[in-house]
C-alpha cells in the first residue's frame, strides 16, 4: 500500500521549482515558464501518488539535471556572443587606429 507524499510536500516542491525557473534566461521563462510549472506539478503529483517520496525524488533528479544543463547552456551562449562581439569591436578599433596612425 503506497500512501504517496503529502500534498504539502508536493506544493512545496512546486514553489521551489517555480523559484528555480529564475535561473533560466528571461526570454525562455516568458515563452515556456507557465507551461513548465504546470508540467512539473503534474509530474510531481503523479510520481508521488504512484511511488511516494521516491517518485518525487525521481522527478527532482530529472528536473535538476535539465535546469543545470539548460541554464548553463543558455548563459554560455550569451557569454560566447558577448565575447565574439567584444573581439570583433576590438579588431575594428585596431584596424581603424592602424589606418589613421599606422601609415605615417
Q: Does 1 map to a domain?
A: no
Q: Does 18 map to a domain?
A: yes
Q: Does 82 map to a domain?
A: yes
Does residue 21 contact residue 70 with C-beta atoms inside 8 Å?
A: no
Domain count of the chain?
1
Q: Of 82, 9, 14, whose CA–CA distance to 43 is shortest?
A: 14
- Rounded to two decimals, the pTM is 0.65
pLDDT tens sequence across 20-63: 998 888 888 899 999 999 999 999 999 999 999 899 999 999 99
Burial track 15-31 (b if 16+ CB lie within 10 A, e otherwise): eebeebbeebeeeeeee
Lowest-confidence range among 5-9, 53-57, 85-89? 5-9
**Range of the structural domain that residue 38 is part of:** 7-101
pLDDT class for 1, splitting at 50, 70, 90? Answer: very low
Amino acid at each position: 500500500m503506497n500512501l504517496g507524499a503529502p500534498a504539502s510536500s508536493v506544493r512545496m516542491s512546486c514553489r521551489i521549482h517555480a523559484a528555480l525557473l529564475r535561473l533560466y534566461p528571461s526570454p525562455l521563462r516568458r515563452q515556456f515558464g507557465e507551461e513548465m510549472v504546470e508540467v512539473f506539478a503534474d509530474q510531481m503529483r503523479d510520481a508521488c501518488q504512484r511511488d511516494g517520496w521516491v517518485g518525487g525524488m525521481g522527478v527532482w533528479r530529472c528536473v535538476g539535471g535539465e535546469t543545470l544543463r539548460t541554464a548553463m547552456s543558455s548563459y554560455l551562449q550569451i557569454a560566447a556572443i558577448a565575447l565574439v562581439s567584444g573581439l570583433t569591436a576590438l579588431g575594428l578599433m585596431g584596424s581603424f587606429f592602424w589606418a589613421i596612425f599606422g601609415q605615417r
